[in-house]
Amino acid sequence: MFAFLESFGFSEEELSSVIDELNAYRSIPGTTLGRYMNRIINGLAEEDRSAFLKGLMVGVAIRKAADDLEEPDLIEEEKRIQCEIEKLGFGEG
């Protein structure tokens, strides 16, 4: 993720700072991600809201693309076939 974001010109220091801040909300008792997001959104100047929203949407799109790259779990029929292949000595183990 760091390399991807650095390719857009963000420095390692910028990335580390933002990640540290995003992780800090967990150390505040009773703070949920939703409450943290509300705190950030309520602190935005009106002219910055659109840029923030675009950033959120890009982040969600990136996450969806990453999730789509993951191979889904095998269904029962695929598991049965995999077991048969392994019994025949052709499986990876």
Q: How many CB atoms within 10 Å of residue 75?
A: 9
Pair of tokens at residue 17: 């700072």
**How far is residue 20's CA from residue 26's CA, in Å, rounded to a whole number?**
11
Is the pTM above the cut of 0.85?
A: no
Q: What is the pLDDT of residues 45-83, one digit of tens each?
A: 999 999 999 999 998 898 888 778 777 778 888 888 888
